[in-house]
Structure 1
Amino acid sequence: MARFIKKHQNEIGASPDDFIFIGEKKTENTVLRIIDYDKNNLEEIPINSVEEALAYQDKKSTTWFNVDGIDETHIMKQIAEGFQFDDFIIAEVMNTNSRPKVQEYDNCLFTSIKMLQVNENSHEISFENLSLIITKSVLISFQEKKGDVFEPVRIRIRKQKKRIINSGSDYLLFALLDVVIDNYIYILSVLGDKIENLEEQLIQSPEKSIIDAINKHKKELNYLRKNILPAREMLVNLTKIDSEFINHKNFIHFKELQNNINHAVEISDSYREILSDQLNIYHTTVSTKLNDIMKFLTVFSVVFIPLTFIAGIYGTNFDVIPELRYKYSYFIMLGSMVVIAIGMLYYFKRKKWF
C-alpha cells in the first residue's frame, strides 16, 4: 500500500460521524489503562471496561486514560457515550489516515498527531496515529497498538515530579506532545548519521550502491516530512487557540513545542539539501571518472596510431622494400616506435592532457 496516499473504499460516501475503523489493524484486543495522580496519591492500573474509567471524571486529581487499539467499535461507542463526546470526535480517532489537527468542542479539546518510532535493530521507521482528548481533569490517549514513546512521562509521574503533578491535564497534553516531537528530532538524527556517512563513501568510492542508498534516504526523509509538516501546522493552530481547557500559564510550553517542531523542519530541510548535493556530487564524480577513462583511452589510441602506421608499412606485400634486406632494419623500426611513443607521451604530459 502507498505510504503517502491512502484511501479505502469504505471511506467513500461514508458519513463523517460513522464509527468506521480506517487503517491497518495492529492489535488483537483493546487494552485500557489508567494513571490517576495528584500531589498526594498515584494510581496506575489496567482496567477491564470503559465504565471503570468513567468513575474518574469527577475526581479532582488528573487522570490519564490510555486506549491501546482503536478498531473495536463497541468500545469506542462506550467511550463516546460515557464521556459525552460528539460522534465526529471518535470517528476521527478511528480514522488512522487523518491529518494532524486540533479542534475545540463544548466539553473537550481534541488533537491528533503522527507518532513515529524507529526500530533500534533494523532502523526501520514506523508510525501510528495518536489522538489525544482533554477535558477538565482527564486526558484520553488513543493509540493503534501497545508500545509507545511515553515512558519518560510515566517515569516523571511515578517520581512525583512537581511540575507535572501539579499542572493538570493540559500540561500532560504538552508533555506527551513534547515527547512525540523530540522523537521526530531523534529519528532525524539517526537518519542524518546515515546521510552524512554517505559523503565519505562518495569521495572514496562512488559505487552504484551509493545512489541506491541516496534514493532510499530521500524516500525516508520525504516520508518523515509528510508527517512532520502537518504536525507543525497543528501546533501553530494549538498555540493560537483560546481554549478553556488550556491554562493560560501553560501556553508558554506549547510555544516551546512550536519552536521544537520548527527545529525538526529545519533539520529535515538541511538533510534534504545535503541529499540533493550528494546526488550532484555522485554524478559529477562519475562523469569525471568517465572523462579520465576516455582521456586515457584517447591517449592510448593516439600513441598507437603512428606505431600501427609504421607496422603497416613493413607489413605490405611489395617485392622491393630496401629496408627488408638490411640486417638492422627490425631494430631500427622498433627503436623508432619506442622513440615516437615516448615523445608523444612527453608532449601530452607537457600539455597536461593527462
Structure 2
Amino acid sequence: MKIRMVNNGVFTPVDELEHTLTPPLEGFYWIDADVEDLAYLQPLFGLHDLAVEDCLTEEEQRPKIELYEGHYFIVINSIRFDDEEIFLRALNIFLGRHYIITVTKQKINELRSLKPILWEQEVSRPDRFLYHLVDIVVDNYFLVGDRIEARIERLEEDILMHTKKSHLNEIIGLRSEILWLKKVLGPQRDVIATLNKKDLRLIDDQLQKYFSDIYENAVKITETFDTYRDLMGNLREAYQSSLSNRANEIMRVFTALTTIFMPLTFITGIYGMNFAHLPGETFYYGFYILLGFMLLLGGGMFLLFRKKDWL
C-alpha cells in the first residue's frame, strides 16, 4: 500500500495511515492499495461492506457506481491487448471528500501514466484525480481498438491471399473476445453517464461538464466495437467464399486435365484392342507419329484452355 498526499500535482509520501483520516489544509490523499489492505482501510474510512465484498470476491466485476454515505464506490475496467488477446483489469475506486482509494488485484498501467498528468494539471482535488483517471482508461480503449482493427485488416489480407484452416479459429476467437468486451462497454458507458449527468455532491458541478467529453468517447468506443463485430462476420463470409473459390479452382483444373487426356485415352484405347490388323501397325514410324500426334493434340488443347482462361 502506498500513501501520498497530492497538492498541485506534487506527491508527498505519507508514512502513517492514520494521518489520512484528517483532511489536509491543501490537497488530498491518494491511497494505492491491494485487496488485502482493505482489512485496514475499511474500519478507518467506514467503507461499505458490500463494496469491500465486491473487491474481494469478484474476479471480473461489472462497471458500476454506488453512492454511500461519505464516499462513492466506482468500478471501471482497464483494458490491455497482449499477445493478440484482450485482458480486462478491474479498477476499484473509493472517492471521499479528502481522499481517493484505488484498489486493484493486478498492476494497472493507467495509474502509472496518470502521475505526470496530475503534475502538469496541478491537481489538488480527488474528484479531478478521478476525472483524469477515467479519461486515461477510456482513451486506452481507442488504442486497443486501433490494434484490433489492424489485426482484422491483416487477417483479411491473409484470407484473400492464402486461406488456411487456422484462419477460422482466429476469426472465431477474436469475434468471441469482441462480443465479450461489448458486454462491458455498455455498463461502463452508463457509469460515465452517471458521473456526467447525476447531481453528485462529492464531484464539483463545473467538473461534471468535463465528463461529457469522456461520455462521448465512451459512446464512440461502443459504436467502434459494434463495427468490429460486423467486420468479423464479413471476415467469416470471406473465409467461406475463399474456400469455395479455391475448391472451384481445383475442380476446374482437374476438369481441364481430364478433358485433355480424354482424346489421348481414346486413341490409346483403340490401339490397345486385340485385333489382328490395325491401321499403321506395320509402319516403322507409326508409333512415333502417333505419339507425336498425341503430344500435339494435348499441347494444343492446353494452349486453347489457357487462351480461354480456363486454366
TM-score by length of 2: 0.87
Give, in whole Å, the separation in 1 of the partners of 2:301 and 2:106. 74
Tell me the matched-pair count: 310
Counterpart residue identity of residue 333, structure 1: L
- Out of 262, 284, 305, which is 2:262 matched to? 305
User: In the alignment, what sits opposite 1:102?
Assistant: 65
* SS at structure 2 position matched to 1:325: coil
Q: What's the offset of the Cα at 1:335?
A: 4.5
SS of the residue 2:87 aligns to: strand
Give me the whole-angstrom Cα distance separating, in 1, the residues matched to 2:14 and 2:180. 34
Alignment of 1:90-169 (within 5 A): 90-94=52-56, 95-119=58-82, 122=83, 125-159=86-120, 161-162=121-122, 164-165=123-124, 168-169=125-126
Q: Which residue pairs with 1:80 in the alignment? A: 42
Pairwise CA distance, 1:348: 4.5
In structure 1, the partner of 2:220 is: 263
Any idea what the Cα deviations from partners look like across 1:259-301, whole Å, max 9, x if unmatched?
A: 1112222222222233322222222222212211111110110
| Partner of residue 153 from structure 2, selected from 196, 202, 213 | 196
3-state SS, counterpart of residue 128 of structure 1? strand
Deviation at 1:118, TM superposition (A): 4.1
CA distance in 1, matches of 2:81, 2:278: 81
Distance in 1 (CA, whole Å) between partners of 2:184 and 2:15 is 32
Task: Tell me if the contact between 1:323 and 1:329 (Cα under 8 Å) persists in the aligned partners.
Answer: yes
What letter corresponds to residue 13 of structure 2 in structure 1? I
| Contact preservation (8 Å) 2:5, 2:14 | no
SS of match in other structure, 2:229: helix
The SS at the match of 1:292 is helix
Structure 1 Cα separation of the partners of residues 86 and 145 of structure 2: 10
Gap regions ≥5 residues in structure 2: none
* Contact 2:95-2:101 within 8 A present in 1 as well: yes
Distance 1:175 1:85 in 2: 23
Q: Does the residue aligned with 2:103 lie in a helix, a strand or coil?
A: strand
3-state DSSP of counterpart to 1:116 = strand
Stretches of structure 1 that go unaligned for 5 or more consecutive residues are 1-31
- Are the equivalent residues in 1 in contact too, given 2:118–2:129 (CA < 8 A)? no
Give, in whole Å, the separation in 1 of the partners of 2:12 and 2:27. 13
1:152, distance to aligned residue in structure 2 (A):
3.0
Say what the alpha-carbon RMSD is for the aligned residues.
2.7
Alignment deviations for residues 307-353 of structure 1 (CA, whole Å, 9 cap, x no partner): 11110111111223343223443344335434543554466456654
- Aligned twin of 1:38: 7
Question: Cα distance, 1:304 vs. partner?
Answer: 1.0
Structure 1 moving runs of 4+ over 6 Å: none
Alignment partner for residue 143 of structure 2, among 182, 186, 205? Answer: 186
**1:148 & 1:348 partners in 2: Cα distance?**
62
Structure 1 pair 47–206 and aligned structure 2 pair: CA distance change class (3 A): farther
1:210 aligned residue (152, 167, 187): 167
Is 1:61 aligned to residue 27 of structure 2?
Answer: yes
Q: Which residue of 2 aligns with 1:232?
A: 189
8 A contact 1:239–1:254 mirrored in 2: yes
One-letter code of the match for 2:248? N
Provide TM-score, normalisation by structure 1: 0.77
> Do 2:71 and 2:96's aligned partners in 1 also have CA atoms closer than 8 Å?
yes
